[in-house]
Amino acid sequence: MEQRFLPDLNAGGFRAEYLMTPLEPYRQGALDELCGLYALFNASRLANQLLEDEECEKVFALALRWLSEKKDFRHTLYKGLYGPELRSLYEGVFQNRWKTFTLKQPWGKSKPQNANDFWSRMEKEASRPNQGMVIAITADDKEIDHWSVVRKITKEQIFLFDSYHPELHPSRRDCGYSKKCGLKYVIWAEEVLLLRNNR
């Protein structure tokens, strides 16, 4: 609620008036930290654009059940999932349900040799049909610490298919693959996941 002061001619002073600010809807991530789960779904949808909402809803219920059985679900809801947990969730639920899908890490525990190595591989993988790319992206101001999905990479920009920041399409010159790069955003190379539909 916004407060402003207006002249009050009757009292010879000012009166406070409260203005209602426009109400914005909550988006995924406003109250929870399930961006990793949403990223798995969005990458799967890019890999198989024939996935129907009803099928995704069923798998969402299976994923929530899996999380509640394997982990402290309250912790997941408020703190999110780390890379190993996200991969276990994918293998335990998504691959069980969608047999044609596989998960791969292009770098695993290794690092790209340099920025050219990183970006050439990222461009190549982002352009493959029947594949979705999940990334872990953080910002130096800590406002973003997030799992997202890459839709496309050009020489200038990264276009995301995102559950919470639909407007986030960072410039490539602002992104690095480790903190050592000293850039605004870090896309953690070792956490890149490729979800491929081998149909």
**Distance, CA of 183 to CA of 156 (rounded, Å):** 15
At 40-52, the pLDDT tens digits run: 999 999 999 989 9
Does 136 score more than 80 pLDDT? yes
Render pLDDT for 71-101 as a digit per residue (tens, 0 to 9). 778 888 888 899 999 999 999 999 999 999 9
What pLDDT, on the 0 to 100 scale, is given for residue 75?
Answer: 82
- 106, with CB counted inside 10 A (0-12, 13-18, 19+), is middle
pLDDT at 103 over 90: yes
Specify the DSSP class assigned to residue 1: -
Burial of 124 (0-12, 13-18, 19+ CB in 10 A): exposed
4: pLDDT strictly greater than 60: no
User: Nearest CA to 86 among 30, 40, 132, 125?
Assistant: 40
Residue 4 has a CB neighbour count (10 Å cut-off) of: 9
Give residue-wise pLDDT tens across range 7-19.
555 655 555 555 5
Name the pLDDT band for 137 (thresholds 50, 70, 90).
very high
Average pLDDT over all residues of the chain: 86
Domains of the chain with CATH codes? 35-197 (3.90.70.10)
Helix axes 35-47, 53-70, angle to 10 degrees: 140
Read off the pTM: 0.84
CA distance 72 to 67: 8
